[in-house]
Every structure is written in C-alpha cells, then in structure tokens.
Amino acid sequence: MEERRFALSSNGDNSGLYRLDGKVAVITGGASGIGQAISLAFAEQGASIHILELDKNNAEQTASTIRKQGGTAEWHLCDVSNQQQVKDVFCQIGGRSPVHILVNNAGVAHIGKLETTSDEDFERVFRINVKGVYNCMYAAVDYMKTSGGGVILNLGSIAATAGLADRFAYSMSKGAVLTMTYSVARDYVAHNIRCNCISPARVHTPFVDGFVRKNYPGNENDMLQKLAKLQPIGRMAKPEEVASLALFLCSDAASFITGTNYPIDGGFLNLHG
C-alpha cells in the first residue's frame, strides 16, 4: 500500500500551507467589507495586492494599511462594468507582472420582486454583478494562460440557489455568476486555471449597517437581530470568515479544487425549517 504523507512545512506544522508569496492578486471592490477583508488576508500571506475600486478614499486607506504592515498594495480606479477600463487596468498590471489570482468581489444589491424591479434597476444589477465579473475574467484569462495558470474566485451568494424573497434581480445576477464559474472552470482546466465560487449568506459589513440605518431608522438593533437569526447558527458571518475561505481556495492547498461552489451560510441552506 502506498504510504500517505501530509504536506507539512519543514518545522513540522502547516503554518505555510496558505502562503501566497510571489503571487499577484487582483481584487475587485477590495477596499470595503468582504473585499477589504480578502485584500488584508491575502497581503498578510505574502501576496502583492491590486485593488480595483470606485471609492478612492477607502482604496487608498486599505492600500496604505497593507503597506504600513509591510505588504505590497496598489489601487486602481476602475468601473468593472466598463470593459475598456477593465482592459486598461489589467494591461497596466499584466504589463509589469503575472496575474496569478483574480477575486471578483465587486457587486451591488437590490431589493424587489419581479413587479417592483424596474428596467433601470435590472440593467444596473446586471451591468455590475454579471458583466463586471465577465469583464474581469475576460481581461485576466490571457495573462493567466501566458504565465502558466492562475486562480479565479467569484463571490456569489446563497441567492443563486435558494429562493429568497424580494431579491429577484440580485438572485438573477448571482445565478449567472455561479454558472459562469462552472463554465470557465471547464473551459480552462487544461490551462491550469482554477475557477471556484463562494456563496455567503448574510455577512455583517458596513453595507449592512448602512442599509439598516437607511431603511429602519430607530429600529436598527431589532433589524440586525432579525438578520442574524435568519442563519441557524444565530449570527451573521464576519468578513474575515469569508476571507479565510477565499484564502484557502486561492492557495496551493486547494490545487485540486475547481468548478465548485462553496456556501458559507451558517447552515441556512441545509438546516432551515
């Protein structure tokens, strides 16, 4: 029988298993919420970070934080729904270094059922959540092929596979993200490009706090409690927890994983009811 061995570092532990030394990571929406947590986690593990953002202040603050902690980070003003802007940014990055990792995190939310989703609402969600992911993958894949491979990680949602009330356009967009993930994983597996998807349930981010303040003034705490209880585990996820899963999937520890969707949902999909 073949002897089984675990891949351990030279000092006998797994502390280096998720290192990203020498890797260049492009993270869209990487300066707030989940994206910021991913940027910080990847930088801590040695990756050079390129943040694609529309929020200049958050982008500069996040990049500055990484640099102060000894990491390498740049930010690029970019509307992911604009293909030419995306191409220009990737040309700038890829002209200087390989592109090893792409994390498609940028996205927008929308609340409404079919009848309350206007044409403008639908187009905006599609343009950013679907076309934005397409644009970035389209721009990145040639650079990954040229450098011998890479990893694409798309941020989806449990809305892609669960029927959530009043999330018509958002669910549509995340369903598209999931199926694009499967397609890209299949088409580029021979090029050593892995593509996976993370599908969170509710994550406690500044966006959630802002949404609650705007829509439930004076009742913020009760609403946050209600959102927390939607997950059987009894709370919302932390951005850092999603970042930990993202780090695993983009590291060499996950080198045998592609074309897979990972719910991170506190039991929402399988323990509800």
Reported as a pLDDT band with limits 50, 70 and 90, residue 225 is very high
Reported as a pLDDT band with limits 50, 70 and 90, residue 2 is very low
Q: Which residues are catalytic?
A: 170
Reported as a pLDDT band with limits 50, 70 and 90, residue 33 is very high
Bigger pLDDT: 10 vs 146: 146
Reported as a pLDDT band with limits 50, 70 and 90, residue 31 is very high
pLDDT of 11 higher than 80: no
pLDDT of 210 higher than 90: no
Of 44-48, 142-146, 177-181, 205-209, the range with the lowest mean pLDDT is 205-209
What's the pLDDT score for residue 10? 41
- Rounded mean pLDDT of 61-75? 98
Q: Give the pLDDT confidence of 170-196 residue by residue, as tens digits.
A: 999 999 999 999 999 999 999 999 999
* % residues pLDDT > 70 (the chain): 94
What's the pLDDT score for residue 27? 98
- Rounded mean pLDDT of 134-142? 98
- Rounded mean pLDDT of 46-54? 98
Bigger pLDDT: 16 vs 3: 16
Average pLDDT, the chain: 93
Reported as a pLDDT band with limits 50, 70 and 90, residue 152 is very high
pLDDT of 227 higher than 70: yes
Give a three-class secondary structure readout of the chain. Answer: CCCCCCCCCCCCCCCCCCCCCCCEEEEECCCCHHHHHHHHHHHHCCCEEEEEECCHHHHHHHHHHHHHCCCEEEEEECCCCCHHHHHHHHHHHHCCCCCCEEEECCCCCCCECHHHCCHHHHHHHHHHHHHHHHHHHHHHHHHHHHCCCEEEEEECCHHHCCCCCCEHHHHHHHHHHHHHHHHHHHHHHHHCEEEEEEEECCECCHHHHHHHHHHCCCCHHHHHHHHHHCCCCCCCECHHHHHHHHHHHHCHHHCCCCCCEEEECCCHHHHCC
Of 98-102, 152-156, 214-218, 251-255, the range with the lowest mean pLDDT is 214-218
Bigger pLDDT: 194 vs 227: 194
pLDDT of 8 higher than 50: no
What's the pLDDT score for residue 5? 37
